[in-house]
């Protein structure tokens, strides 16, 4: 999977990226330029990550029973170089999830880090990538063109929503401004290339406490009445919006909650 998670600060992007990555592998590499994942201890060096990857690549060693989260924190001012070194090391491995938090540190609408582009284009089938950004135009054209799944949080900026109209169907444009806090729209292509949309109203299936990271994202804030985040909020859905019951990804998250 090549997922792109879009939303403003402190909406839960980094949290959602981690939850999604855990669905695809118990080995998770996190590129963390903004120190969102401090809850998982000291960041790892590239040699430390390589040693872990090498150990789990040995068929005689068991797969990790619980997620192994390896946080890599690049040096300020050396984002491209440090990610390049990480990506070069990872290239020989398969079977992991890669979270690229604050993806615009590695790309602009017209340029993208060459090692990130290589992974997106040619990465092994067992590697899933989840990138976070604030706006769709912040992501490079390649990231958008090869994206298999989008995850959108609420957007009320009329210019941003208008710019998306050329790339996404009208259902999404109408839904985004109506979302409540912590609600997510999952957008993907179904059978025959048909655009599918499902609204995730309840944050429980994907919420993971990041502690020092998204400090304003706390479950007690999201569910004052004891229910799921924004649970019961009424949104007038287009007739052809997919029910979450038919969204296999959401059901997978729900099953592990």
| Residue 19, token pair as written in the block | 């939850």
Count the helices and strands in the chain (H runs, E runs): 9, 8
- Mean pLDDT taken over the chain: 85
Q: How confident is the model at residue 37 (pLDDT cuts 50, 70, 90)?
A: very high
pLDDT at residue 234 in the model: 36
Order across the sheet with 127-133: list the strands.
68-72, 27-31, 96-100, 127-133, 2-6, 149-152, 184-189, 195-200
The CATH number given to whatever domain includes residue 165 is 3.40.50.300
Give percent of the chain with pLDDT exceeding 70.
Answer: 86
pLDDT higher at 25 or 233: 25
Distance CA 153, CA 201 (A): 11
* Residue-number span of the structural domain to which 159 is assigned: 2-256
Across 157-173, b (16+ Cβ under 10 Å) vs e yields eeebbeebeeebeebbe
Q: 97-113: per-residue pLDDT in tens? A: 999 999 999 999 999 99
Residue 15: predicted pLDDT: 93
Q: What is the pLDDT of residues 160-191, one digit of tens each?
A: 777 788 888 888 888 888 898 889 999 998 88
Of the candidates 1, 13, 3, 48, the one whose C-alpha atom is nearest the C-alpha of residue 153 is 13
| Position with higher pLDDT, 173 vs 88 | 88
- Asked if pLDDT for residue 120 goes beyond 90, the answer is yes
E strands, 164-244, are 184-189, 195-200
Total domains, the chain: 1
pLDDT at site 193: 79
């Amino acid at each position: 999977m090549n997922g792109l998670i879009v939303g403003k600060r402190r909406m839960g992007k980094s949290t959602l990226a981690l939850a999604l990555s855990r669905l695809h592998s118990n080995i998770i590499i996190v590129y963390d330029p903004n120190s969102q994942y401090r809850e998982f201890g000291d960041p790892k060096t590239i040699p430390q990550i390589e040693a872990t990857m090498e150990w789990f690549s040995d068929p005689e060693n068991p797969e990790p029973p619980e997620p192994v989260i390896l946080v890599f924190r690049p040096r300020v001012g050396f984002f491209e170089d440090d990610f390049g070194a990480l990506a070069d090391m990872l290239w020989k491995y398969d079977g992991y999830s890669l979270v690229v938090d604050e993806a615009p540190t590695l790309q602009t609408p017209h340029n993208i880090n060459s090692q990130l582009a290589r992974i997106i284009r040619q990465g092994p089938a067992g590697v899933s990538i989840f990138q976070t950004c604030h706006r769709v135009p912040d992501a490079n054209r390649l990231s958008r063109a090869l994206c298999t799944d989008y995850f959108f949080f609420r957007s009320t900026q009329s210019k941003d929503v208008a710019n998306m109209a050329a790339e996404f169907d009208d259902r999404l444009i109408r839904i985004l401004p109506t979302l409540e806090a912590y609600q997510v729209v999952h957008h993907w292509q179904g059978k025959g290339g048909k655009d599918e949309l499902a609204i995730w109203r309840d944050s429980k299936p994907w919420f993971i406490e990041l502690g020092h990271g998204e400090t304003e994202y706390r479950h007690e804030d999201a569910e004052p009445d004891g229910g799921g985040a924004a649970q019961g909020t009424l949104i007038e859905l287009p007739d052809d919006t997919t029910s979450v019951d038919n969204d296999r990804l959401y059901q997978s998250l729900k099953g592990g909650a």
